[in-house]
């Protein structure tokens, strides 16, 4: 039975790494499978992004996260989690996507893009950043439409429409504006989201007030062409000349994958996967959820700072089960 891991973790983000650390601390054999690079979601964040949380709230494994900035930058977080993973010498397999997980005779059989594994317990820590919330409008598949944003320089001197009112949208609007883009915000609701970072909110409010960034509230994009974008506003339909559309309308967990491996996910929003919040165990015995994937479409509920505890809850439950078995 030596070829059966105590724990197999899907996802090598901060919470997946935290689960691996807790497993190792408690002498539980583990393997972490990650379809991309280490902390893949963080790697795909905008290059200039600053975290909302302070560095101490992003710490895992009782390892200090030292920075001279009030809020750590993306590059600092990447280096921190890389060093933490190296410090604990976790059994982490990168660029290895999990295809299917099935349970037979109390053992999970996991097939990936590179091999097959067996484990007594499985932890899903896949986050929510892989699947965008699409606009579902004609022209959304054009090359000019982007659902991820990285570097503002690319959009210098271009006519850019940014869709959304959250932190990612507002950061993109301000950064591209400062690189010389002609920026238009299209917001479905009546105002900028109240969850926008408090030090950013006055900046975007002033840019809109001074007419430096045009904003259409209570509005939706209805059609995209190579040269224009059609917007349904409160005053009627307008057409804007346009070079790029940054549709930063949020992301969602991979519900199809969760359902495929047996996790019950309600069809109705917010589609929170079935799990016990005290142990993080799903309806499948021995299969756990950790991190932001637990929130379904409520992606604003869970962050690194408040889901770090999931690792402790899961390992504690596994240890209790081992004692009683």
Q: Largest Cα–Cα distance in the chain? A: 68
**Which residues are paired to 59 by β-bridges?**
none
Q: What pLDDT, on the 0 to 100 scale, is given for residue 2?
A: 58
> Cα–Cα distance between 50 and 13 in angstroms, integer?
17
> Cα–Cα distance between 307 and 78 in angstroms, integer?
18
- The b/e string for 99-127 (b: 16+ C-beta within 10 A; e otherwise) is eebebeeeebebebeeeebebbbbbbbbb
Q: Lay out the sheet containing 182-186: strands in order across.
A: 145-146, 244-247, 159-163, 182-186, 214-216
Alpha-carbon torsion angle 186, 195, 130, 29, nearest 10: 180
Residue with tokens 């290895």: 96
From residue 93, alpha-carbon distances to 10, 140, 164 in Å are 10, 34, 35
Contact 65, 55 (CB under 8 A): yes
Residue with tokens 């660029």: 95
Task: Look up the pTM and report it.
Answer: 0.92
Pick from 211, 208, 215: which is nearest to 188 by CA?
Answer: 215
Burial of 89 (0-12, 13-18, 19+ CB in 10 A): exposed
> Cα–Cα distance between 215 and 112 in angstroms, integer?
45
> Cα–Cα distance between 303 and 318 in angstroms, integer?
23
Q: Label each residue of 103-139 as H, E or C.
A: EECCEEEEEECCCEEEEEEEEECCCCCCEECCCCCCC
Residue with tokens 């016990």: 276
Contact 158, 182 (CB under 8 A): yes
> Cα–Cα distance between 263 and 260 in angstroms, integer?
7
Q: What pLDDT, on the 0 to 100 scale, is given for residue 226?
A: 97
* Per-residue model confidence as pLDDT tens for the chain (325 residues): 458 999 999 999 999 999 999 999 999 999 999 999 999 999 998 888 888 889 999 999 999 999 998 899 999 999 999 999 999 999 999 999 999 999 999 999 999 999 999 999 999 999 888 889 999 999 999 999 999 999 999 999 999 999 999 999 999 999 999 999 999 999 999 999 998 988 899 999 999 999 999 999 999 999 999 999 999 999 999 999 999 999 999 899 999 999 999 999 999 999 999 999 999 999 999 999 999 999 998 888 888 888 999 999 999 999 998 887 6
3-class SS of residue 254: coil
Q: What pLDDT, on the 0 to 100 scale, is given for residue 1?
A: 44
């Amino acid at each position: 039975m030596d070829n059966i891991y105590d724990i197999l973790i899907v996802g090598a983000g901060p919470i997946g790494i935290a689960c691996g650390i807790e497993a190792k601390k408690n002498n539980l054999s583990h393997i972490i499978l990650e379809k991309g690079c280490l902390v893949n979601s963080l790697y795909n964040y905008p290059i200039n992004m600053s975290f909302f949380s302070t560095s101490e709230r992003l710490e895992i494994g009782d390892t200090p996260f030292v920075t001279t900035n009030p809020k750590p930058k993306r590059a600092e977080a990447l280096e921190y989690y890389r060093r933490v993973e190296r410090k604990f010498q976790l059994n982490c397999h990168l660029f290895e996507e999990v295809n299917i997980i099935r349970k037979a005779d109390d053992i999970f059989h996991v097939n990936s893009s590179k091999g097959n594994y067996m484990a007594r317990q499985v932890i899903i820590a896949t986050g929510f950043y892989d699947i965008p919330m699409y606009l579902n409008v004609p022209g959304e598949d054009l090359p000019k439409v982007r659902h991820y944003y990285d570097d503002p320089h690319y959009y210098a001197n271009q006519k850019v429409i940014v869709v959304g009112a959250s932190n990612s949208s507002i950061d993109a609007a301000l950064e591209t504006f400062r690189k010389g883009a002609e920026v238009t915000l299209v917001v479905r609701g009546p105002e900028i989201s109240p969850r926008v970072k408090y030090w950013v909110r006055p900046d975007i409010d002033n840019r809109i007030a001074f007419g430096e960034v045009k904003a259409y509230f209570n509005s939706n994009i209805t059609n995209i062409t190579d040269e224009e974008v059609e917007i349904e506003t409160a005053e009627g339909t307008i057409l804007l000349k346009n070079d790029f559309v940054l549709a930063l309308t949020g992301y969602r967990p991979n519900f199809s994958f969760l359902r495929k491996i047996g996790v019950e996910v309600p069809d109705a929003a917010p589609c929170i996967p079935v799990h016990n919040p005290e142990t993080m165990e799903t309806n499948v015995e021995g299969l756990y959820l950790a991190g932001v994937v637990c929130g379904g479409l409520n992606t604003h509920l869970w962050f690194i700072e408040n889901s770090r505890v999931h690792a402790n809850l899961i390992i504690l439950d596994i240890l209790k089960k081992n004692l009683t078995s």
